Amino acid sequence: MPLPKQYSLMYTPILNFLSDGAPHKRKEIKDSLIAVFSLTLEEQIMQTGGRGKGIFDTKVNDALFYLIKTGMVEHNDTTIFKITDIGMNLSNMKLRVIDDEILTKHGNGFRILSKQQEPGKRPEPVMQKTVHEKIFLPSRPNAAPQKSQTAAPVKKDLDFRKVINTSRQGPWRQKVERFTAAYSEKMSPEESDAIKRITKNKDKNLPLGSEDVKTLYLLFEKLHAQDPKSLLSILCIDEKGHDIVTDANGPDLT
Q: What secondary structure does DSSP assign to 58-73, as a single string?
A: HHHHHHHHHHHHTTSE
At 133 the pLDDT is: 46
All CATH 1.10.3380.30 domain ranges of the chain, comma separated, are 7-106
The architecture CATH gives domain 7-106: Orthogonal Bundle (1.10)
Residues forming beta bridges with residue 3, ordered by sequence position: none
Cα(12)–Cα(116) distance, integer angstroms = 19
Helix, coil or strand: residue 34: helix
Rounded CA-CA distance 240/160 in Å is 10
- Give residue 246's pLDDT: 62
Residue 124: how many other CB atoms lie within 10 Å:
11
Q: What is the pLDDT of residue 127?
A: 47
Q: What is the mean pLDDT of each run of 10 residues along the chain (254 residues)?
A: 84 94 93 92 76 81 92 85 94 91 89 57 50 49 54 56 69 80 84 80 60 80 83 82 65 42
Q: What pLDDT was estimated at residue 85?
A: 94
Per-position DSSP letters for 75-117, written without gaps between them: ESSSSEEEE-HHHHHHHHTT-S---HHHHHHHSSS--B---PP
- Residues of 174-191 as b/e, b for ≥16 C-beta within 10 angstroms? ebbebbeebbeeebeebb
